């Protein structure tokens, strides 16, 4: 194997964290800001790109530049066990949801995921970018033209919002999904979009204009609550948006004493 052989434990149910156990000289790379705690024998180092050892300066610069295209920082953080025995480092996802462990060796060495899904991976896993080949998919697919790709033969971990559903699609089997609900899919899954259809559905359905269309063979991971939807609801209510369960809206709040 090229990637370090790490062990892990996912802790919690809805507000999960990830504990990585490292043998001496093993390392894990993670997104900046995901760190939670670590043992005394762990050394933390800020690095360009994904920290693969076979990269020269320009390779590291290119790797870091690709990360900027996905909206991430130029830098990642590597955590290495410089002690004698096993050491542990723990990471936490930035919002409520699930952490998904991916053994890339079980998926022919490659998984494609949404831009902000990556949490951490064994050192040696390549964190790159995947371009959408279809113009329409890039414009209206909900993920833009660029997604993240995880390549290698080690463990990688992505996070999602809400509950996760895993589906294995047979050759030619199609699944239509809300564009914001896709977390990840394996490399042979065909990702396209489909028009919702119908003037009433488009204008008044409240589900957008396009579905994401995933066609097998391969595995897909779907989240029940896109973070953008959660953030939108919080923002709406923080600005005094509609009040559920009341036709009177804000007036109902005044009558029952909730608004001060």
**Distance of alpha carbon 75 from alpha carbon 46, whole angstroms:** 7
pLDDT digits (tens, 9 = 90+) for 43-91: 999 887 666 655 555 555 565 555 555 556 667 899 999 988 999 999 9
Percent of the chain past pLDDT 90, that is, above it, reads 42
Q: Which residue did the predictor score with more confidence, 172 or 244?
A: 172
Instruction: Using pLDDT thresholds of 50, 70 and 90, give the confidence band for residue 245.
Output: very low
Prediction pTM value: 0.77
In this structure, which CATH number among 3.60.160.10, 2.40.440.10, 3.40.50.720, 3.10.180.10 belongs to the domain 7-239?
Answer: 3.60.160.10
Q: Could you report the per-residue pLDDT of 87-114, keeping only the tens digit for each?
A: 999 999 888 889 999 999 999 999 999 8
Q: Radius of gyration over alpha carbons of the chain, in Å? A: 21
Dist CA 175 CA 93 (whole Å): 27
Distances in Å between the Cα of 236 and the Cα atoms of 60, 96, 239, 241, 249 are 41, 19, 5, 5, 13
Total length of the chain: 260
Answer yes or no: is pLDDT of 136 > 90.
no
Least confident of 154-168, 172-186, 193-207: 193-207
């Amino acid at each position: 194997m090229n990637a370090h052989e790490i062990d892990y434990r996912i802790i919690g149910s809805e507000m999960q964290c990830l504990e990585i156990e490292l043998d001496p000289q093993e390392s894990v790379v993670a997104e900046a800001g995901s760190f939670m705690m670590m043992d005394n024998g762990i050394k933390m180092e800020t690095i360009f790109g994904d920290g693969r050892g076979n990269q020269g300066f320009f390779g590291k610069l290119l790797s870091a530049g690709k990360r900027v295209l996905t909206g991430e920082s130029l830098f990642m953080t590597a955590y290495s066990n410089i002690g004698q025995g096993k050491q542990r480092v723990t990471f936490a996802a930035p919002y409520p949801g699930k952490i998904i462990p991916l053994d890339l060796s079980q998926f022919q060495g490659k998984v494609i995921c949404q831009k902000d899904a990556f949490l951490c991976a064994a050192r040696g896993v390549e964190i790159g970018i995947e371009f959408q080949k279809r113009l329409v998919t890039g414009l209206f697919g909900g993920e833009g033209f660029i997604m993240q790709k995880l390549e290698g033969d080690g463990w990688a971990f992505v996070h999602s919002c809400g509950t996760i559903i895993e589906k294995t699609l047979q050759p030619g089997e199609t699944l239509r999904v809300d564009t914001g609900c896709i977390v990840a899919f394996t490399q042979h899954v065909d990702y396209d979009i489909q028009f919702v259809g119908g003037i009433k559905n488009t204008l008044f359905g409240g589900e957008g204009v396009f579905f994401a269309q995933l066609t097998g063979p391969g595995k897909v991971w779907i989240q029940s609550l896109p973070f953008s939807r959660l953030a939108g609801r919080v923002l709406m209510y923080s600005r005094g948006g509609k009040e559920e369960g009341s036709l009177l809206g804000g007036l109902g709040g005044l009558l029952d004493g909730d608004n001060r």
